[in-house]
Amino acid sequence: AGTQKPKDASSQKAPKAAVVNDDDDDEIRVEDISTASGEKAGLDDVAASQTKANKSPNVPFTAEWLKTLQSVHDFDEGSLFVTEVVLMVFAMVYTILHLIGRFANDKVMRDLGNAMVLAAQKHDFPHIGVQDIEEMQRKPLFKDGADFAYFYATGRSNAPFGLTIGISTYPRHDLFGMLKSSMFKVAKDSLRVIMPLDPRLQPLVILICREQDLPSYRKAHPDIDLLCDRYPLPSFLSKLPLPAGLSEDNRSDLVFATDSSDATTLLQVEKISSILVKLRDSLAVLHITDQGSKVDLQSMEYKKLLLVTVDLSSSPHLSREEIVDLTMTLAVSIADAAVKFDSIRNPMALERVKALRKKAEEESLKEVDKKRKAEAAEKKQEKREGEKNLDPEEQAKLEEKRRKKELRKRQSSGAVKILR
């Protein structure tokens, strides 16, 4: 009873065999394949277990991905530390420069706003600044960002729609903005005066600007190319001695263009000429036009305009406040003198000015008509190209539709009568 019976050989599994028929020697060989089958089954079990482990919900995919990424990219902790320090230092420097630059720009705008208020009061503008609804008080400037602001003044004679001055300051608060301005040589601080003139004035275009700015200004204001011819610069501007601290290389050349041969009469008014002499090195643009301007949003509603642009940092002998006062005095003086000049204009020059505008208007209408015909021809060509791709049945329907349309057209003209 204590002994175990040996297992019957028949109960044990026999090894699997494969019968191979050898055609060459007409013999039958028996090969044992149980070992190979066992190895394959073992490999299948391992693969199944790995697949099951990969699909296990206990290991999130993100953790596995991060683990794989960490093993593939073995970062140097020292390099990471240096990179973080550099980024932190850059962020601190940028923040400090932003705060210092913002404070500097606020101070510049505040000083310019105060100077404009004094100049506007000096020239009898009764309404100055903008009304702040939240604080219920009037402010001299309307800020539009950290480096731009507007000044408004209205209510003066010969300025029926008031005066607008745009203040553009150097982007001291923006490191990348300063680099961009340095690369493209943008003026540090500038003023842009926009004054609509009396709409009853006779047509006139005058331009004085820096020679290097003429191509871009002509592109933005087509009336310069359409109407104006270039004339020699008035003598009171062309024969000026260099001020102390300014070299000949740093002085910008000015160009003078107009559509009227008697335009210099307006500029030779003593008050105007004396201010232009003082602003010679600060003046960037002086533009009088009756064609409007699409560049300034504040002037799109008006045709007859006075536009003046000055740099506040180009003059070696004038302060910002003095340039502000002279610029506003120039604008007001031109508005006053234009009314008197309108009554003494040369009749022949005025006739030429009107003829130029008539010709320019005809050319503009021709250009519009040419453009409209080109667009119509292009649409017609596209329609024909589309009809070529239609099925024969659809083409037949289209031809029938055209035939009926042609018949109706002839019937309405009385050429053909159709009896029903």
Is the predicted pLDDT of residue 335 greater than 90, yes or no?
yes
User: What pLDDT does 139 receive?
Assistant: 84
Tens-place pLDDT, residues 217-275 = 888 888 888 889 899 988 888 766 665 555 555 567 899 999 998 898 999 999 999 99
HSE, side-chain direction, 13 A CA sphere, residue 322: 11
Tens-place pLDDT, residues 358-381 = 888 888 788 888 888 888 888 888
User: What pLDDT does 74 receive?
Assistant: 55
User: What pLDDT does 417 receive?
Assistant: 47
Gap between the Cα atoms of 274 and 261, Å rounded: 21
Task: Select the more confidently predicted residue: 21 or 238.
Answer: 238
HSE, side-chain direction, 13 A CA sphere, residue 5: 5
Q: Copy the structure tokens of residue 343.
A: 């009554």
User: What pLDDT does 196 receive?
Assistant: 92
User: What pLDDT does 33 receive?
Assistant: 46
Residue 148, SS3?
strand
User: What pLDDT does 71 receive?
Assistant: 56
Least confident of 36-40, 99-103, 410-414: 36-40
Gap between the Cα atoms of 287 and 278, Å rounded: 18
* Selection from 112-116, 169-173, 310-314 with the highest mean pLDDT: 112-116
Tens-place pLDDT, residues 96-122 = 887 888 888 888 888 999 999 999 999
User: What pLDDT does 122 receive?
Assistant: 92
Average pLDDT, the chain: 77
Report phi then psi at 6, rounded to 5: -65, 145
Is the predicted pLDDT of residue 172 greater than 60, yes or no?
yes
pLDDT band at 325 (very low <50, low <70, confident <90, very high): very high
Gap between the Cα atoms of 223 and 353, Å rounded: 12
Gap between the Cα atoms of 83 and 187, Å rounded: 36
Gap between the Cα atoms of 309 and 327, Å rounded: 9
User: What pLDDT does 70 receive?
Assistant: 56
User: What pLDDT does 395 receive?
Assistant: 77
Environment class of 320 (CB within 10 Å of its CB; exposed 0-12, middle 13-18, buried 19+): middle
